[in-house]
């Protein structure tokens, strides 16, 4: 295949992946989430967010279905562990979508030691940083439950990971 066509195939596959939603947070795609490690004509490599995240199998099935529907039946989907995913892999576009959806995005480049989300979260409703953690575990493994002291809005915060 000439180089130009290979690039076209990869971007076509990427375009398909942009339409595959995260099953738990349907406003962001698997591309926004940063779990797609590599794309070529023969293979899409994805990586799990958390080791035991129950959404991983669903995500793989959704990607398979989307590729098949777009005519990429021959493109394999495989899972890789390295390098491990961290919240830094969430794209800027993904962060903006999370915020608009009411989930405080994780700070970028946070020290791996700051697992407690030590810094204040910005309230996705009113923008105040006067917020507090209510529960370190929220509706999914990747989120903690926070509340805004200014407007009282309870909200999910994506954990630094």
Residues engaged in binding another protein (CB under 8 A): 48, 50-54, 81-84, 86, 112, 115-116, 134-138, 141, 161
Cα torsion at 154, 100, 15, 68 (round to 10°)? 30
Nearer to another protein, 10 or 53 (CB): 53
Bond prior to 138 in cis (omega within 30° of 0) = no
Residue 9 Cβ vs another protein, minimum distance, rounded to whole Å: 28
Nearer to another protein, 7 or 115 (CB): 115
Residue 26 CB partners (closer than 8 Å, separation 6+): none
Residue 142 Cβ vs another protein, minimum distance, rounded to whole Å: 10
Nearer to another protein, 11 or 116 (CB): 116
Put the strands of the sheet holding 103-104 in their side by side order.
103-104, 154-158, 143-148, 131-135
């Amino acid at each position: 295949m000439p180089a130009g066509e290979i690039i076209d195939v990869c971007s076509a596959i990427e375009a398909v992946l942009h339409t595959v939603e995260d099953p738990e947070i349907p406003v962001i795609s698997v591309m926004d989430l940063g779990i797609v490690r590599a794309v070529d004509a023969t293979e899409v490599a994805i990586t799990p967010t958390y080791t035991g995240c129950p959404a991983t199998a669903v995500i793989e099935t959704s990607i398979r279905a989307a590729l098949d529907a777009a005519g990429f039946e021959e493109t394999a989907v495989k899972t890789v562990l390295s390098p491990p995913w961290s919240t830094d892999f969430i794209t800027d576009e993904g962060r903006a979508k999370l915020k608009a959806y009411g989930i405080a995005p994780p700070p970028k480049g946070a020290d791996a030691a700051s697992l407690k989300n030590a810094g204040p979260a910005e309230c996705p409703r009113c923008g105040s940083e006067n917020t507090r953690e209510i529960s370190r575990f929220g509706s999914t493994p990747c989120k903690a439950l926070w509340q805004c002291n200014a407007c009282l809005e309870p909200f999910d915060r994506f954990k630094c990971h």
